[in-house]
Amino acid sequence: MAKKGNLDLAPSKKDKIGIGQIILLIMLFAYTVFCAAPIWVTLVSAFADEKWIASNGFSFWPGKFSMAGMNSVLRYGKQLATSYGVTIFVTVVGTFFGLLIMSMYAYAISRKEFYLSRFLSIFLIIPMLFNGGQLSGYIIFTQNYHLKDSLLLLILPLCVTTMNVIILRTYIANSIPNELMEAAKIDGAGEYRTFFQITLPLLKPSLAAVGFMMATAYWNDWQNALLYIDSANKKPLQLLLINIQKSIEMLLNNKSLPATVLAALGGSVPQYSATMSTVLVVVGPIIIAYPFFQKYFVKGLTVGSVKG
Amino acid sequence: MKVKAFFENTWKHRAHVVMALPVFLVMFFIFYVPMAGLVMAFKKFDYTLGIWKSPWCGLENFKVLVASKAQFISMTKNTVMYYIIFTALGTFLNVVLAIAIDQCVFKKCSKVMQTVMIVPVFISYAAVQFVVYAFLNSSTGILVNMMGIKTRFYSTARTWPTILTIVKMWNSVGYGSVLYMSVLAGIDTELYEAAQIDGANKWQQIWHITLPSLIPMITVMLLLSVGNIMRSDTGLFYQVTRNSGALYSTTQVIDSYVLNAIFKNSNFGFTAATSFFQSVVGLLLMLLSNGLVRKIAPENSLF
């Protein structure tokens, strides 16, 4: 993997651009369109006129645009702001806490002269082979730990994964010269100082890759929220999305909607452009952040795949 | 004095013990204790007593499982069926896409396209669900509007294996191909040059150089995924189908069944027995597949 630029390999510049290349490009483009189309629909529907969609249906180019959908996101106003806050808090705290403790663990088990490191490696691997499943986890977290409706259950279950520790350990073993850490010790640096001032800074590419994947997992986690969170002020964005869907379904099933409620909703149940606007607001940040991290996580995955 | 040497070593490395402690504790409480909780498969679970104090009931829960085997078999069948479709098709498409992007000479173009292809993996299923609805719903959906397909998807179970496969591929193929591309990037360019000099065309180069170099990675990825045969991407089956009862015959997998059972607070005996089965089968398959990896490519085995 000494190659720079990662992908520019097989075909050299001398290759003629033949008909085959054009066909290949068209096929890749077709697949790109397939990937982008649903995102495009979300985007244009978010800015489309609610009534236009209701009568003409979703489309790739709505006939009438309006900001009403985006404005109605503000209807969730305070709850949306709270949910944003919760999601950002959980994502930031979880990712940094997880990265810190996982890299410390990875560092400890990568020390060969440390006898316990073998035991700790096995301890790390076992959850990958065997796990208690959702039901037993649910009962133990809620009944034995009494953590129902606690943000801890949004943070702790996702902050350590075996695979991430393995990726970090592999990076320490392969890409950080042991001599560097030995030298630091000879110069009188303690274990902690060696870790925080030598290892951790050199671990940065791997931390960026793992960190971004963790942040995505936190941002998109709906399952723990749905299982454990009840109170409105602890609701993350994904749970808000699920609640919106549930309440729309309820409104639609309830034929005899009081006129006052209908009037407050602007004449009809806001189910098209309004929900798409919300979806956009929820997924937007991760999609915008991702291109900046792309180079790291291609690298990070490479590190993860070439193990030991 | 092995014991003494061990303690001396541990004391000498007490800093490492301290560093390992936080993850150790998190894993212990989040992963290990629920493993012990699986004993509830052998207990008559009473919510007020909790897992540890509920009375033992032997194999009664498994008898219930056998008695209502139609449901158990149906969801196990779905779980395994989706695993096979997703893994086979997914691996195939990952490899095809990786080779296609690697072969494309318009580097700038293919880079941008790849960026777009990876985006779907970052969209949560809670959000994907709305997007799928925009395509499929029977009054305003794009399929009925633009193509005149009048199927009422949300009540037609037989269409869902196809729909879920398309959604899953849309979601994961672009991202999955990155791993294979990193392998392709490691192939020595001289191999291709030598092949060109020998008069090999593009297809022959792909067949004789590119594919063989991907085989180890494909084998390893397949074998490692075998351990997850009983687990599914819960969001796909719970969210994207809107958890609609009419679709259960083709969309209910073990994980989504367990999730529903938790919400309905019911049938814990049956569910616990199912979970136990799921975990044990997962463990056995994982050991088996790791054993195979160790035979074929020892450097890639997990342990």
Q: Please state the domain count of chain B.
A: 1
Q: Is the dihedral of CA B268, B270, B271, B273 positive or negative?
A: positive
Q: How confident is the model at residue B216 (pLDDT cuts 50, 70, 90)?
A: confident
Q: How confident is the model at residue A179 (pLDDT cuts 50, 70, 90)?
A: confident
Partners of residue A109 in chain B, C-beta under 8 Å: 20
Please report the number of interchain residue pairs, chain A to chain B, with beta-carbon separation below 8 angstroms.
Answer: 328
Most confidently modeled range among A258-272, B21-35, B45-59: B21-35
**B40 or A1: whose pLDDT is higher?**
B40
Tell me whether residue A102 is in a domain. Answer: yes
Phi-psi region of B58 (alpha: psi -120 to 50; beta: other; left: phi over 0): left
Percent of chain B topping pLDDT 90? 35
Q: How confident is the model at residue A2 (pLDDT cuts 50, 70, 90)?
A: very low
- Are A148 and A47 in a shared domain? no
Is 80 exceeded by the pLDDT of residue A147? Answer: yes
Is 80 exceeded by the pLDDT of residue B206? Answer: yes
* Chain A 43-82, residues with CB within 8 Å of chain B CB atoms: 45, 53-54, 56-60
Output the pLDDT for position B74: 92
* Chain A 78-107, residues with CB within 8 Å of chain B CB atoms: 101-102, 104-105, 107
Output the pLDDT for position A267: 54
Tell me whether residue A4 is in a domain. Answer: no
Closest Cβ–Cβ partner in B26, B259, B282 for A160: B26
pLDDT tens per residue across span A213-229: 899 899 999 999 999 99
Most confidently modeled range among B46-55, B155-164, B283-292: B155-164
Output the pLDDT for position A301: 58
Closest Cβ–Cβ partner in A45, A54, A115 for B10: A115
Cα→Cα distances B147→B136, B140, B151, B157, Å: 11, 12, 11, 20
Planar angle of CA A157, A159, A160, nearest 5 degrees: 90
Partners of residue B258 in chain A, C-beta under 8 Å: 133-135
Extract the tokens encoding A307.
Answer: 């193990």
State the average pLDDT over residues A175-190: 85
Is 60 exceeded by the pLDDT of residue A3? Answer: no
Tell me whether residue B54 is in a domain. Answer: no
Output the pLDDT for position A259: 64
DSSP state letter for B105: S
Closest Cβ–Cβ partner in A60, A133, A222 for B275: A133
State whether A139 and B50 contact (CB < 8 Å). yes
Extract the tokens encoding A88.
Answer: 């950002």
Extract the tokens encoding A190.
Answer: 């303690």
State whether A222 and B125 contact (CB < 8 Å). yes
Tell me whether residue A33 is in a domain. Answer: yes
B264 SS3 class: helix
Is 80 exceeded by the pLDDT of residue A156? Answer: yes
Among A1, A3, A4, A7, pick the best mutation site for testing chain B contact (most B Cβ within 10 A): A7
Tell me whether residue B264 is in a domain. Answer: yes
Is 80 exceeded by the pLDDT of residue A286? Answer: yes
- Are A104 and A225 in a shared domain? yes
Q: How confident is the model at residue A66 (pLDDT cuts 50, 70, 90)?
A: confident
Is 50 exceeded by the pLDDT of residue A303? Answer: no
Query: How many whole angstroms separate alpha carbon B9 and alpha carbon B1?
Result: 12
Tell me whether residue B22 is in a domain. Answer: no
Closest Cβ–Cβ partner in A57, A133, A227 for B144: A57
State the average pLDDT over residues A25-41: 94
- Are A104 and A39 in a shared domain? no
Tell me whether residue B35 is in a domain. Answer: no
Query: How many whole angstroms separate alpha carbon A242 and alpha carbon A247?
Result: 9
Output the pLDDT for position B131: 92
State whether A120 and B20 contact (CB < 8 Å). yes
* Chain A 245-304, residues with CB within 8 Å of chain B CB atoms: 245, 272, 275-276, 279, 282-283, 286-287, 290-291, 294, 297-298, 301-302
3-state DSSP of B107-132: HHHHHHHHHHHHHHHHCCHHHHHHHH
**A15 or A215: whose pLDDT is higher?**
A215
Partners of residue A3 in chain B, C-beta under 8 Å: 185-186
- Are A178 and A42 in a shared domain? no
- Are A26 and A109 in a shared domain? no
Is 80 exceeded by the pLDDT of residue A253? Answer: no
pLDDT tens per residue across span A68-104: 778 777 777 788 889 999 999 999 999 999 999 999 9
DSSP state letter for B47: T
Chain A residue whose CA is closest to B301? A307
Task: Please give the backbone phi and psi of residue A49, each rounded to the nearest 5 degrees, phi first.
Answer: -75, 130
State whether B20 and A115 contact (CB < 8 Å). no
- Are A152 and A210 in a shared domain? yes
Q: Are A218 and A210 in contact (CB under 8 A)?
A: no
Query: How many whole angstroms separate alpha carbon B123 and alpha carbon A237?
Result: 13
Is 50 exceeded by the pLDDT of residue B133? Answer: yes
Expressed as residue numbers, the domain containing A187 is: 78-308
Tell me whether residue A13 is in a domain. Answer: no
Tell me whether residue A57 is in a domain. Answer: yes
Q: How confident is the model at residue A263 (pLDDT cuts 50, 70, 90)?
A: low
Q: Are B50 and A139 in contact (CB under 8 A)?
A: yes
Tell me whether residue B25 is in a domain. Answer: no
Among B6, B23, B104, B233, pick the best mutation site for testing chain A contact (most A Cβ within 10 A): B23
- Are A133 and A62 in a shared domain? no
Tell me whether residue A280 is in a domain. Answer: yes
State whether B131 and A41 contact (CB < 8 Å). yes
Tell me whether residue B49 is in a domain. Answer: no
Tell me whether residue A11 is in a domain. Answer: no
Chain A residue whose CA is closest to B146? A59
Cα–chain-centroid distance for residue B41?
A: 24
Output the pLDDT for position B298: 77
Tell me whether residue B43 is in a domain. Answer: no
Output the pLDDT for position A133: 86
Amino acid at A260: T
Partners of residue A159 in chain B, C-beta under 8 Å: 26
Tell me whether residue A276 is in a domain. Answer: yes
Q: Write b or e for each residue in A95-117: b if 16 or more Cβ atoms lie within 10 A of its Cβ, otherwise e.
A: bebbbbbbbbbbbbbbbeebbbb
Chain B residue whose CA is closest to A219? B124
- Are A41 and A133 in a shared domain? no
Is 90 exceeded by the pLDDT of residue B83? Answer: yes
Chain B residue whose CA is closest to A154? B30
Partners of residue A298 in chain B, C-beta under 8 Å: 178, 181-182
Closest Cβ–Cβ partner in B119, B141, B182 for A305: B182
State the average pLDDT over residues A239-262: 75
- CA dihedral B2→B3→B8→B12, nearest 10 degrees, is 100
Tell me whether residue B34 is in a domain. Answer: no
Give me the residues paired with residue B70 across strands. Answer: none
Planar angle of CA B144, B147, B151, nearest 5 degrees: 40
Q: Are A222 and B126 in contact (CB under 8 A)?
A: yes
Output the pLDDT for position A308: 36
Q: Please state the domain count of chain A.
A: 2
Nearest CA of chain B to the CA of A145: how many Å? 9
Q: Are A240 and A283 in contact (CB under 8 A)?
A: no
Q: Are B102 and B210 in contact (CB under 8 A)?
A: yes
Q: How confident is the model at residue A159 (pLDDT cuts 50, 70, 90)?
A: very high
CATH number where B133 lies:
1.10.3720.10
Nearest CA of chain A to the CA of B217: how many Å? 9
**B168 or A115: whose pLDDT is higher?**
B168
Nearest CA of chain A to the CA of B158: how many Å? 23
State whether A283 and B271 contact (CB < 8 Å). no
Percent of chain A topping pLDDT 90? 33
Partners of residue A108 in chain B, C-beta under 8 Å: 16-17, 19-20
- Are A62 and A83 in a shared domain? no
Q: Which residues contact A260 (CB under 8 A, 6 or more apart)?
A: none
Q: Which residues contact A183 (CB under 8 A, 6 or more apart)?
A: none
Expressed as residue numbers, the domain containing B143 is: 71-300
Is 60 exceeded by the pLDDT of residue A9? Answer: no
Q: How confident is the model at residue A62 (pLDDT cuts 50, 70, 90)?
A: confident
Lowest mean pLDDT among A205-219, B115-129, B142-156, B288-302: B288-302
DSSP state letter for B243: T
Crossing angle (nearest 10°) for helices A152-159 and A77-109: 30
Among A6, A8, A9, pick the best mutation site for testing chain B contact (most B Cβ within 10 A): A9
- Is some CB atom of chain B closer than 8 A to the CB atom of A128? yes
Is 50 exceeded by the pLDDT of residue A305? Answer: no
Query: How many whole angstroms separate alpha carbon B217 and alpha carbon B178?
Result: 12
